[in-house]
């Protein structure tokens, strides 16, 4: 039985056209049309709330507190990739800081998402590069323990495959399977149009949720024929 190498260099990425389109949507819109799934735990948040990222996932799995494989991933990733790092949610030591993130920016990566701690917060704010993390810790990492690159990972409680579409903003991060991503774009367009129409209706004074009475009856809160 053959075994995959720990480092997979060649992956199939979601197309640049889909990435460009996806970047025009809120993560919440994409999460809704994707079935309200694929969102990372709220612990994975942008360092600054106006940070946004969209691109294909370049996945990295590390042991808690060790960033050896992240250095290798930075050397292998392509411009436009989003490093998505499964740091096991550990916040006892930082996996990245200003030096590594500056290199990511210089190489043209779209951003970095770390389910783990990072450090150098104020310098990262000045860097102007999208970074999402589970927290901060001044302690540095070790560089001894092997991990894996471009294997399926779990980050923020969500499965991420190499090449999947990753979109992040102030609300958090959503991951959509590469094969499904193109079909989600038309659904997202419709969702945006529907929400814009609803906002216009609310502005005219139509604040009632027309679906609510039926939902309350189905839940047993209202009896048949009863209304709010």
Q: Which segments are annotated as binding site for Mg(2+)?
A: 120
Residues contributing to the annotated binding site for substrate? 97-100, 119
- Rounded CA-CA distance 211/198 in Å is 13
- Please count the residues of the chain: 228
Phi, psi of 183, deg, nearest 5: -70, -25
CB neighbours of residue 199 within 10 Å = 9
Residues contributing to the annotated binding site? 97-100, 119-120
């Amino acid at each position: 039985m053959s075994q995959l190498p720990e480092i997979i260099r060649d992956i199939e990425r979601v197309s640049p056209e889909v990435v460009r389109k996806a970047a025009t949507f809120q993560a919440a819109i994409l999460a809704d049309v994707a079935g309200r799934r694929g969102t990372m735990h709220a612990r994975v948040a942008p360092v600054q709330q106006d940070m946004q990222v969209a691109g294909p996932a370049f996945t990295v799995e590390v042991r808690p507190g060790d960033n050896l494989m992240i250095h290798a991933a930075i050397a292998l990733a392509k411009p436009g990739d989003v490093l998505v790092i499964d740091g096991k949610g550990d916040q006892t030591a930082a996996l990245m800081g200003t030096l590594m993130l500056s290199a990511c920016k210089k190489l043209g990566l779209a951003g970095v998402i770390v389910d783990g701690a990072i450090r150098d917060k104020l310098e990262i704010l000045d860097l102007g590069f999208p970074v999402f993390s589970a927290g901060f810790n001044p302690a540095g990492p070790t560089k001894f323990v092997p991990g894996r690159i471009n294997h399926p990972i779990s980050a923020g409680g969500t499965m991420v495959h190499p090449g999947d579409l990753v979109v992040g903003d102030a609300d958090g991060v959503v991951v959509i399977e590469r094969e499904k991503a193109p079909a989600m774009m038309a659904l997202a367009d419709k969702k945006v149009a529907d929400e814009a129409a609803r906002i216009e209706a609310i502005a005219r004074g139509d604040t009632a949720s027309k679906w609510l009475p039926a939902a309350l009856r189905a839940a047993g809160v209202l009896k048949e024929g009863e209304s709010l």
